[in-house]
Amino acid sequence: MINLIRIFALVVLLALTSCDLNYNSSPVTPIRRQPTEQLVWVAKFFSGGIQCDTSSHYTPPDTKILLNAARIPVIDALIEYCATCDACGCPTYAAKHFALIEKKYLGQADRLGFTPQPLPWLYVRTDRSTYKCSDNLFFTIDNPTNRNAYIAACNLQLTYWIEIFTNFRWSNFTEINIGPCRDDSDPFIQLSPNQHFNKQLALRTINNLESGVYRIKVEYRLENDYYSSNSYSNEFKLECGE
């Protein structure tokens, strides 16, 4: 009888331990971008690489893996890509990495440099990191905050830019819209809190497209704020045949 009790206790202990270490499992119920009383967004800024130095290479950390290694479960993660300066010696990568965690882990996150911070106003992401020039590119624009955002538009259709990384700097490659715009057309379309746009771009329709590293730039302004800002997608590679 005593042996049975010991075996039962050991099985329970192993089960509890395996659950405690399962940080990569997804929650059963969907988690909204807006934190609850028990959840909070934390973030840390990362940069690396050296412009004008072709031998320089920087691989940013995976936010979830980094926090999981410190025994911090991650509910959701976002990356806000930041613009870098064009001068030699400036970083090639600059971004703020966000993670949604339970408040009880704030102390552990702070020791890794992750502190409570508000989300970026707009978050842009592509469905893949590598495309062929004949592919269709799908991307999403999210407004994960509690304020309205107004995105540049033409004839009530989204306007955005494709940027290319060349000569160690980002520059506009082409503008995507359905212009010329009518004079009576509203130059912005509204993106409400927690709303998102799903867009498709047929890459084969873009003139002079060639292999390289690109990103999507979206221009927007916030509610009651008439100064425009830019939001950038993750980088993606294009592989074009001869």
pLDDT tens digits, 133-147 = 999 999 999 887 778
Q: How many Å from the N-terminal Cα to the C-terminal Cα in the chain?
A: 76
Per-residue pLDDT band at 198 (split at 50, 70, 90):
very high
Average pLDDT of the chain?
80
Tokens representing residue 166 in the block = 């060349």
C-beta of residue 176 within 8 angstroms of C-beta of residue 149: no
How many percent of the chain have pLDDT more than 90? 37
Q: What is the mean pLDDT of residues 172-188?
A: 82
Tokens representing residue 7 in the block = 């075996």
Give the per-residue pLDDT at 121: 76
What span, in angstroms and rounded, lies between the C-alpha atoms of 238 and 241?
A: 10
Kindly tell me if the per-residue pLDDT of 4 is higher than 80: no
Q: What is the mean pLDDT of residues 108-123?
A: 88
Kindly tell me if the per-residue pLDDT of 219 is higher than 80: yes
Sign of CA dihedral 213, 219, 222, 225: positive
pTM, entire model: 0.62
Q: What is the pLDDT of residues 57-87, one digit of tens each?
A: 888 899 999 999 999 999 888 888 776 776 7
